[in-house]
């Protein structure tokens, strides 16, 4: 086989490949440093201008230099070429350098492939509902670009051919093909076995995500900027808990150094068995990705939803891996519990521990207040009373606290948010020998009427105290509720609207906009739950609903195979069938019937014979039939080829049809039949 020069790409192919590539860059524009798409844009314009006017394209030296320079730029910015963002930036830059040397059809194919790769990168990173249509359009664009590139006119000699395959035809063809592919895509999506992490480990997200940390030092914060981002959504089966019960439990902080509360891992402590009281809440949480390993649950959960998630002795859910992907899980919680056994000594010691002798004034106050009451629960009420009446104020912009943060807060500033109150209250408890710990999490949530679920946002973050009371076990006490009772029943936005950014505030101030956003959020949630988080267990559940007994991978394979074969047959039939020949019209059918009758009578019409030559055949070989047949054949040729009289034409065709059907021809006589 002689190796020839690769076919020259057409200008139209170049335009389309560039368009597909440019759209691919646009889809990634928010994921890479800004200079990357700008550089790509410059190269795209350069290439397009070079195609339309005599502008030189850079030679191999300049291209190599550019490539090295750009790789260095990416390295400088990311310190690696690995990872999704760095990889995408590199792909964009190298693709645009490739564009500069795009001449042949093969080069154009490569540029379209780069566009598809960019689409994949965008898909891997961003799965919003809003982007899904953009992705579909990009697939369409890429496929149409493939068609145009492939159609490239290689030889100018074939200019005589009709220009039937224009841009519109390419778009239509690609669109049609994708529509044909859609059923298979859905089928594969539903039945193709999923295997997360089967090929390589899933890297941690390199983006800083908001969320609760594992420590809390309220004294260091002078302005709490809360984010409007969603932490998770909660769908309840049946009635949701009342507002004052909507405490979502997160990390529990045990260790206090006088300034900062920390979470410490104490594996020696056994979980306190609990007696669950009241209503059992069954619900499903759709957790948003975060940098942490916390899974949130309505206080108090009854167990872990998954083997990979620990249920700790202080009733937190901690996953083995950070929540890099959105996750769904179902739980059962009781908002009221009672301990059935006394607190172990080890746990008591941990949760009454106050290292050093910091905050002496608060210690003295605690001892004094505890001395005045008989029981721990009375002491809790006394301290709460102290907060209520002590001139404390709720604010998100507290002054910075000194080294002895609790003393400074209780006796000096008296301004703070939930962290300050939880911290000071827990300290007061411990100083009086009452076991207590800080629980962080979320409080409340916004009810989405469109989807019937709660949206819990980062701005709903909260912290409270748990106190061990001998007759009840761990008891939740929320000192913030004493200072700002409205915080319990309403969101933080209602109390302190300035806590969030201006756009969020604007949305919150426009009820119609808020309602619209709620609907949008509900739609998004459905998208996330049904599509984005669709996984192996969902697949099995679906099979079960389809009637499979104890479904497994094998059943999944069968369902998948059956669907695949069905689709293949459908496509083969639909695309592969020859275009239907148009059905002969009424007149032609009657003529064919006449010819068939003649054939039975011994006169076969050859394909080159028209009606009149057939008539002469008849008169030559079967003069006996002439009277009947000749006139019919003449009528046919007049109807077919004569000038049609508009009004009488259909009637004449009908008459002809009738006369043909009435015609009875005698079989050939003794003479030998022709042919």
Partner 1 sequence: MARWIKKRQGLDSLPLTLSRRRLYILPTRAGVGYGLLLILMLVAGLNYANSTALFLSFLLIGFTLVAMHQCHRNLLGAQLVAATAPPTFVHRPGTLTLTFENSATAARFRIAAGVGEEPVAPTDLPARGRGRIDLPVIASRRGVVRIDRLHLITTHPFGLFRAWTWVHAPIEMLVYPRPNGSLPMPTHHGTKAGTRSVTNTGADEWMGLRPFRDGDSPRQVDWKAYAREAPLLVKEYSATGSELRMFDFGALSNLQLETRLEQLARWVVDAEEGGERYGLRLPDNFIKPDRGPEHRHRCLAALATFGLEDARRGEDTAT
Considering only residues 156-195, where is the footprint of partner 1 by CB under 8 A? Answer: 157-158, 160-162, 164-165, 173-174, 177-178, 180-186, 188-189, 192, 194-195
Q: Which of residues 268-297 bind partner 1 (CB under 8 A)?
A: none
Nearest to partner 1 of 332, 542 (CB atom): 542
**Spatial separation of the C-alpha atoms in residues 523 and 228, rounded to whole Å:** 18
Task: Report the nearest approach of partner 1 to the CB of residue 136 (Å).
Answer: 8
**Spatial separation of the C-alpha atoms in residues 596 and 584, rounded to whole Å:** 15
415 belongs to the binding site for partner 1 (CB under 8 A): no
- For the chain, how big is the Rg over CA atoms in Å? 40
Q: Which two tokens stand for residue 271?
A: 């979980």
317-334: string of b/e by CB count within 10 Å (b at 16+)?
A: bbbeebbebbbbbebbbb
Query: By the 8 A CB rule, do 17 and 108 touch?
Result: yes
CA neighbor of 297 nearest in space, from 339, 306, 526, 487: 306
147 belongs to the binding site for partner 1 (CB under 8 A): yes
Interface map 193-222 toward partner 1 (x if CB under 8 A): -xxxxxxx-x--------------------
The answer for 238, left when phi > 0, alpha when psi is -120 to 50, beta otherwise, is left
**Spatial separation of the C-alpha atoms in residues 142 and 119, rounded to whole Å:** 10
Mention every residue, 6+ apart, whose C-beta is less than 8 A from residue 637: 610, 611, 612
332 belongs to the binding site for partner 1 (CB under 8 A): no
Nearest to partner 1 of 61, 160 (CB atom): 160
Cα-based distances in Å from 284 to 66, 158, 194, 232, 439: 52, 65, 22, 10, 22
Interface map 597-636 toward partner 1 (x if CB under 8 A): ----------------------------------------
Nearest to partner 1 of 403, 570 (CB atom): 570
Q: Which of residues 108-127 bind partner 1 (CB under 8 A)?
A: 109, 113, 116-117, 119-120, 123-124, 127
Q: How many residues bind partner 1 (CB under 8 A)?
A: 71
* Contact range with partner 1 by CB under 8 A, out of 240-248, 472-480, 578-586, 625-633: 578-586
Query: By the 8 A CB rule, do 561 and 165 touch?
Result: no
Phi, psi of 298, rounded to the nearest 5 degrees: -65, 135
Nearest to partner 1 of 91, 347 (CB atom): 91
Task: Report the nearest approach of partner 1 to the CB of residue 528 (Å).
Answer: 9
531 belongs to the binding site for partner 1 (CB under 8 A): yes
Nearest to partner 1 of 109, 636 (CB atom): 109
Q: Which of residues 49-108 bind partner 1 (CB under 8 A)?
A: 105-106
Query: By the 8 A CB rule, do 271 and 474 touch?
Result: no
Q: Which of residues 386-405 bind partner 1 (CB under 8 A)?
A: none
Task: Report the nearest approach of partner 1 to the CB of residue 81 (Å).
Answer: 17
Among 133, 242, 576, 623, which residue interacts with partner 1 (rule: CB under 8 A)? Answer: 576
Among 75, 271, 575, 669, which residue interacts with partner 1 (rule: CB under 8 A)? Answer: 575
3-state secondary structure (DSSP) of residue 312: coil
310 belongs to the binding site for partner 1 (CB under 8 A): no
Q: Which of residues 2-21 bind partner 1 (CB under 8 A)?
A: 2, 4
Among 20, 146, 234, 665, which residue interacts with partner 1 (rule: CB under 8 A)? Answer: 146
Task: Report the nearest approach of partner 1 to the CB of residue 590 (Å).
Answer: 23
Among 60, 208, 579, 664, which residue interacts with partner 1 (rule: CB under 8 A)? Answer: 579
Q: How many CB atoms lie within 10 A of CB 607?
A: 4
The answer for 188, left when phi > 0, alpha when psi is -120 to 50, beta otherwise, is alpha
The string of DSSP letters for 115-151 reads HHHHHHHHHHH---GGGHHHHHHHHHHHHHHHHHHHH
3-state secondary structure (DSSP) of residue 4: coil
Task: Report the nearest approach of partner 1 to the CB of residue 199 (Å).
Answer: 4
Nearest to partner 1 of 326, 644 (CB atom): 326
132 belongs to the binding site for partner 1 (CB under 8 A): yes
DSSP code of residue 176: H
Nearest to partner 1 of 181, 612 (CB atom): 181
């Amino acid at each position: 086989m002689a190796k020839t020069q690769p076919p020259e790409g057409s200008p139209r192919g170049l335009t389309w490949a560039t368009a597909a590539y440019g759209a691919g860059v646009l889809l990634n524009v928010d994921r890479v440093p800004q200079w990357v798409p700008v550089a790509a844009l410059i190269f795209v314009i350069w290439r397009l201008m070079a195609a339309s006017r005599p502008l030189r394209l850079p030679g191999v030296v300049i291209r190599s230099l550019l490539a090295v320079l750009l790789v260095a730029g990416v390295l400088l910015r990311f310190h690696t070429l690995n990872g999704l963002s760095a990889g995408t930036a590199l792909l964009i830059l190298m693709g645009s350098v490739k564009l500069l040397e795009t001449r042949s059809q093969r080069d154009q194919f490569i540029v379209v492939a780069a566009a598809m790769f960019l689409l994949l990168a965008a898909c891997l990173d961003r799965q919003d509902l809003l982007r899904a249509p953009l992705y579909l359009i990009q697939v369409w664009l890429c496929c149409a670009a493939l068609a145009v590139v492939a159609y490239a006119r290689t030889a100018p000699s074939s200019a005589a051919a009709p220009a039937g395959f224009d841009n519109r035809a390419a778009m239509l063809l690609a669109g049609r093909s994708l529509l044909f592919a859609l059923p298979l895509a859905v089928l594969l999506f539903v039945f193709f076995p999923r295997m997360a992490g089967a090929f390589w480990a899933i890297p941690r997200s390199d983006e800083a995500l908001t969320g609760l940390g594992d420590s809390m030092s309220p004294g260091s914060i002078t302005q709490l900027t809360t984010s409007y981002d969603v932490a998770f959504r909660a769908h309840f089966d049946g009635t949701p808990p009342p507002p004052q019960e909507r405490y979502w439990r997160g990390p529990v902080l045990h260790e206090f150094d006088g300034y900062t509360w920390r979470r410490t891992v104490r594996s020696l402590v056994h979980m306190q068995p609990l007696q669950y009281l009241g209503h059992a809440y069954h619900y499903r949480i759709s957790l948003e990705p975060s940098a942490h390993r916390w899974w949130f649950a309505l206080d108090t959960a009854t167990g872990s939803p998954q083997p990979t998630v620990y249920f700790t002795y202080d009733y937190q859910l901690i996953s083995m891996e950070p929540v890099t992907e959105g996750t769904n899980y179902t739980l059962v919680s009781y908002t009221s519990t009672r301990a059935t056994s006394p607190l172990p000594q080890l746990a008591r010691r941990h949760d009454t521990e106050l290292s050093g002798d910091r905050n002496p004034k608060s210690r003295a106050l605690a001892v004094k207040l505890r001395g005045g009451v008989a029981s721990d629960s009375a002491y809790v009420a006394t301290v709460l009373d102290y907060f209520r009446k002590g001139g404390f104020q709720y604010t998100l912009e507290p002054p910075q606290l000194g080294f002895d943060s609790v003393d400074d807060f209780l006796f000096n500033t008296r301004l703070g948010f939930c962290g300050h109150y939880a911290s000071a209250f827990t300290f007061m408890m411990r100083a009086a020998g009452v076991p207590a710990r800080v629980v962080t999490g979320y409080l409340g949530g916004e009810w989405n009427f469109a989807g019937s679920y709660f949206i819990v946002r980062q701005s709903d973050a909260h912290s409270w105290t748990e106190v061990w009371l001998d007759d009840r076990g761990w008891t939740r006490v929320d000192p913030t509720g004493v200072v700002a009772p409205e915080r319990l029943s309403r969101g933080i936005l209602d109390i302190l609207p300035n806590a969030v950014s201006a756009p969020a505030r604007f949305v919150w101030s426009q009820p119609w906009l808020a309602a619209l956003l709620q609907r949008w959020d509900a739609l998004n949630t459905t998208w996330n739950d049904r599509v984005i988080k669709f996984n192996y267990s969902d697949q099995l559940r679906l099979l079960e609903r389809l009637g499979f007994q104890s479904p497994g991978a094998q059943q999944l394979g069968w369902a998948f195979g059956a669907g695949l074969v069905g689709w293949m047959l459908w496509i083969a039939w639909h695309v592969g069938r020859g275009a239907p020949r148009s059905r002969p019209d009424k007149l032609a059918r009657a003529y064919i019937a006449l010819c068939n009758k003649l054939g039975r009578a011994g006169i076969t019409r050859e394909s080159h014979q028209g009606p009149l030559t057939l008539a002469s055949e008849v008169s030559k070989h079967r003069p006996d039939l002439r009277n009947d047949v000749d006139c019919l054949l003449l009528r046919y040729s007049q109807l077919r080829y004569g000038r049609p009289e508009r009004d009488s034409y259909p009637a004449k065709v009908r008459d002809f049809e009738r006369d043909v059907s009435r015609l009875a021809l005698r079989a050939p006589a003794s003479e030998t039949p022709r042919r």
